[in-house]
Chain A
Amino acid sequence: MAQNADNVLDHFDLFRGPEYQEMLANKKAKFEGGHDPAEVERVREWLKTEEYQKLNFAREALTVNPAKACQPLGAVFVAVGFAGAIPFVHGSQGCVAYYRSHFSRHFKEPTSCVSSSMTEDAAVFGGLNNMIDGLANTYNMYKPKMIVVSTTCMAEVIGDDLNAFIKTAKEKGSVPADFDVPFSHTPAFVGSHITGYDNAMKGMLEHFWDGKAGTVEKITPVKNGSINFLGGFDGYTVGNLREIKRIFNEMGIKYTIVGDNSDVWDTPTDGEFRMYDGGTTIEEVTNAVHASATISMQEYCTEKTLPMVADHGHEVAAFNHPISVKATDKFLMTVAKLAGVEIPASLEKERGRLVDAIADSAAHIHGKKFAIYGDPDLCYGLAEFLLELGAEPTTVLSTNGNKRWEEKMKALLASSPFGKDCEVYSQKDLWHLRSLLFTRPVDFLIGNTYGKYLERDTNTPLIRIGFPIFDRHHKHRYPVWGYQGGLNVLVTILDKIFDTMDANTIIAGKTDYSFDIIR
């Protein structure tokens, strides 16, 4: 018996003891009906080959380990960024349980969201009654300032019409006639979570700017010199939006963060559960129509939203998740120009500090090969940064990247001698990437938590940057935008490089001549 009250063994150690090892070996040998170990070994090796890669890339129907989620997740991300807003997802209830769990595992925070709980009868007759009852219940129980409606694939397949349903629900008295219920259709079988962000943000702005589904006059924009900021779907939203606010305050500009979920996903433990905290107010999002310009930090999260905003007379600018010095320079110069201000000396000093840090550390990164996967804008921003560090992005893969992204990505890589050997893949998954890591090995992999399976299988050290990050804590609190964010990304990369160096040199009397105390 290995277990001991003085030193309690849990799953990490308990099953490594001889009793359990023998039991498991016996189970395998007698009852599992498994394959000959030699055959398993043969297939394991075959999976690493060029031949396998060719078959793997010939897949047309099967997706294995994709790096993307579905639209409604993005809609929920948008909704919680508004003050007192509760996301209401029309369709099957299990979906909402999944979105809430997914966000809570990443942010280690509660995520409030309701479902209209449609079942078989709603599949036959439509979900109108679910909308009528659901809005009434949510309104009474959770006292929201607005209810933000989106859809699951079930509601989309049966063709429920949100505009008509919400109108009818209001007529039936579910919520007051003038209560705000912005909505968007977010079919899970189109695009990904970033498409959901785009549709939900567009739906939100249309509601408040363009006459609240025909119930009030459209607002005529009157330019007030303010700038709107859209972050896009972002796992670092807590740290990033706070950093952006700090930068904008430093620059002394007038701005609105449209969809500010940095507080609701970072509430204190002080004895009180805040279901709502912070967020863009109704007044703020309404007045955002009068801004002179709107900035999107992630082009591929706002492909529909930004043109719609431009139609309201705003100057618009889109970035690709800027991390590098150059990208942050461009971002700040654009903001300064749009706002008519100078970039303050304080930010210039921050820039200098990031350049200083790169100069101090570049030798350890220069020439290292990297594979990157994630959302399209994040991939772009990271690749841009690596090029600046003298690293060599070798593989960039985005499951939810489109052809336009692929072209733009290739153009970026072609612009630098460090990017000339890089291959770009859109609409591919992490099983494709697994093949690539065997056939074109790299020194480091950058991706989300699921990359740990690739790290295990291909022995490529994983640097966790992306969404979701489930198995490391609190990373979302640290910005990856602005010069300070660039510094955080640099340190994250360096930490793994140094840890890997140490792990590779730690054997006493064998490799530890390089186990240096100063690096």
Chain B
Amino acid sequence: MSVANEDTVDVKARNKDLIKEVLAVYPEKTAKRRAKHLNVHEQGKSDCGVKSNIKSIPGVMTIRGCAYAGSKGVVWGPIKDMVHISHGPVGCGQYSWSSRRNYFIGVTGVDSYGTMQFTSDFQEKDIVFGGDKKLSKLMDEIQELFPLNKGITVQSECPIGLIGDDIEAVSKAKSKEYGGKTIVPVRCEGFRGVSQSLGHHIANDAVRDYIFDKQDPAKLAAFESTPYDVAIIGDYNIGGDAWASRILLEEMGLRVIAQWSGDGTLAELEATPKAKLNVLHCYRSMNYISRHMEEKFGIPWCEYNFFGPSKIVESLRKIASFFDDNIKENAEKVIAKYQPLMDAVVAKYRPRLEGKKVMLYVGGLRPRHVIGAYEDLGMEVVGTGYEFAHNDDYQRTAQHYVKDGTLIYDDVNGYEFEKFVEKVQPDLVGSGIKEKYVFQKMGVPFRQMHSWDYSGPYHGYDGFAIFARDMDMAINSPVWKMTKAPWKAEAAATAVAAE
């Protein structure tokens, strides 16, 4: 049941009323601030008409995380052959330990460290007297106990910046002591910025400053270059996403020389300046380093979208357009090869999902990137929002993805999201672990769209089959028919707490 034109007017009016209703709960000052983050999309506008990348309001239950999460959790954490120290108290590293599902191949503890929690476990004396000596000693211990590590990063937690520790000096001294070892201090203290986003940026800058700028050109990449060398940027290999993407690029004759950063290694980061093209999936978290490589090394970059066949086809052609006819032909061959699989997936799942409405609230690329995949299955995204987008994300969203009348919510909080879902009554919500059980209690099917709800991959042609299966199993699970006791009259889902 796609929304017909005459209905769009009603939907828009409803959504506008809904925003008004939600804002009514706030104290005046807060209502004014939140009003700027909520909107109903108007077709033809260059962005979604919301403010973004602004401080969250205290006390509202924002869903956002912090800069440390953006650096350690997203950008650096997946580099598998480096030891990433959660520098500060024990909690941050503990809560983010192995929770993101960046898959990798390696012998954990021996030559890979992706699912380990290294921390300086700050105690009161470290706060009082500073933690630099501890950090220095800790690096010695890493060198001794994990001799195959390729490098170390220092992921700063809140206290580091507050107590005036000089992690740069410690890192520099230790790097020298270990014969030029890569040691990267990262100033991603959780209080910096307004969300994970600044952490991505700081982490990107640290790659620039401590890997590219310190690089010995003589040492650069052990392999011979080819004209077809590309790097995958901004794919964290959640449930194997980057692998399901890499296979397509290689099938079309390109050679992937680096993965940033899912299943990535220090050697791959170092070799990336030799790429002929950087293909960028998560624009939000890695546009900075892509722009830097363009400026410094003259490497062009191109955004792509590997969710759902429509966008994959578009992306394969776009990527191929940077190369010769041979690659262009190969891209067509790849598209043709997978077409029967895609037809079969759509034939199987579209009838079960046609017309179903979806509301999304995720991080930095998925609130727009997955829309095409839903549409391939005949579904409609009626509301979407970002935890930590900037205006360029909302521009991309408006220009390429969302339909007229879509409800847009930036940095939504628990109260707003519940109200929106309660009134819009979507058939599926896609968001995170903190939201999952709230909506399931309300009887609304849900998929985690950060972790793929422990499934995946969702990228690429192989991933789309899994995506379709998972959306079907979420929406059409028999459990949703049992939420009301048969002796109770049917009633709409309500969130009591919100009233």
Binding site for B on A (CB under 8 A): 1-6, 8-11, 14-15, 19-20, 23-24, 27-28, 30-35, 39-40, 43-44, 47, 52, 55-56, 59-66, 68-70, 72-73, 88, 91-95, 97-102, 104-105, 108-120, 122-123, 130-131, 133-138, 140-143, 152-154, 157-158, 187-190, 192, 267-276, 431, 434, 450, 453, 457
Contacts and interface: CB of A to CB of B under 8 A. Distances in A.
B124 A94 contact: no
Nearest to A34: B111
A60 B415 CA distance: 46
Given A63-B119, A101-B433, A273-B418, A5 B465 contact: yes
B299 interface: no
Nearest to B259: A27
Given A95-B190, A104-B436, A271-B484, A15 B240 contact: yes
Contacts of B53: none
B287 to A, nearest CB: 22
Contacts of B121: 63, 66
Q: Which of B145, B439, B491 has most chain A Cβ within 10 Å? A: B145
Nearest to A127: B58
A64 B118 contact: yes
B483 A270 contact: yes
B116 A1 contact: no
A373 B257 CA distance: 42
B36 interface: no
Contacts of B58: 114-118, 130-131, 133-134, 137
Interface string B213-241: 00000000011000000000000000110
B282 interface: no
Contacts of A47: 109-110
Interface stretch (B40-48, B63-71, B307-315): B63-71
A124 to B, nearest CB: 10
Contacts of B271: 31
Contact of A99 (B67, B95, B103, B455): B95
Interface residues of B, number: 137
A43 B158 contact: no
Contacts of B468: 8
A137 B57 contact: yes
Contact of B443 (A119, A269, A274, A434): A269
Q: Which of B150, B163, B191, B271 has most chain A Cβ within 10 Å? A: B191
Contacts of B456: 10-11
A185 to B, nearest CB: 12
A114 B90 CA distance: 21
14 contacts: A1-B341, A6-B344, A8-B469, A15-B240, A33-B267, A43-B110, A66-B117, A115-B58, A142-B497, A192-B90, A269-B441, A272-B494, A273-B438, A273-B439
Contacts of B32: none
B56 interface: yes
Interface string B164-201: 00000000000000000000000000111110100000
A95 B91 CA distance: 8
B496 A272 contact: yes
Given A137-B58, A272-B493, A14 B457 contact: yes
Given A66-B117, A105-B99, A114-B61, A61 B497 contact: no
Interface string B138-157: 10011011011010000001
Contact of B162 (A4, A52, A142, A157): A157
Contact of A65 (B116, B124, B494): B116
Contacts of A117: 55-59, 62
Contact of B124 (A15, A64, A101, A187): A187
A92 B257 contact: no
Nearest to A102: B95
Nearest to A24: B105
B304 to A, nearest CB: 19
A62 B154 CA distance: 13
A220 to B, nearest CB: 35
B268 interface: yes
Interface string B336-374: 011001001101100000000000000000000000000
Contact of B250 (A1, A23, A95): A23
Contacts of A93: 56, 62, 64-66
Interface in B418-477: 418, 432-434, 436-443, 455-457, 461-462, 465-466, 468-469
Given A32-B81, A95-B91, A110-B434, 13 more contacts: A9-B465, A10-B455, A40-B148, A62-B120, A98-B65, A104-B437, A112-B61, A114-B60, A140-B30, A142-B415, A154-B190, A273-B418, A276-B497
Contact of A3 (B29, B116, B462, B493): B462
Given A187-B124, A190-B124, A11 B103 contact: yes
A61 B141 contact: yes
A33 B94 contact: no
A157 B158 contact: yes
Given A43-B110, A94-B190, A272-B493, A65 B158 contact: no
Contact of A153 (B57, B89, B119): B89
B193 A140 contact: no
B102 to A, nearest CB: 12
Given A31-B271, A275-B495, A138 B59 contact: yes
A104 B431 CA distance: 14
B158 A152 contact: yes
Contacts of B55: 117, 119
B35 interface: no
A98 B117 contact: no
A133 B90 contact: no
Contact of A142 (B61, B94, B265): B61
* A-B pairs, 7 with minimum CB distance: A94-B66, A33-B267, A275-B497, A70-B91, A134-B58, A134-B59, A98-B95
B247 interface: yes
B95 A101 contact: yes
Interface in B255-271: 256-259, 263, 265-268, 270-271
B2 interface: no
Contacts of B375: none
A62 B118 contact: yes
Contacts of A116: 58-59
B92 interface: yes
B89 A188 contact: yes
Nearest to B499: A143
B91 A56 contact: no
B237 to A, nearest CB: 10
A31 B257 contact: yes
B485 interface: yes
Contacts of A14: 240, 244, 457, 462, 466
A50 to B, nearest CB: 14
A20 B135 contact: no
B323 interface: no
A453 B115 contact: yes
A43 B149 CA distance: 11
A141 B341 contact: no
B122 interface: yes
B322 interface: no
A154 B99 CA distance: 23
Contact of B108 (A1, A187, A457): A457
Q: Which of B247, B266, B337 has most chain A Cβ within 10 Å? A: B247
Contacts of A24: 105, 243
Contacts of B4: none
Contacts of A108: 437
Contacts of A276: 497
B218 to A, nearest CB: 15
Contacts of A3: 341, 461-462, 465
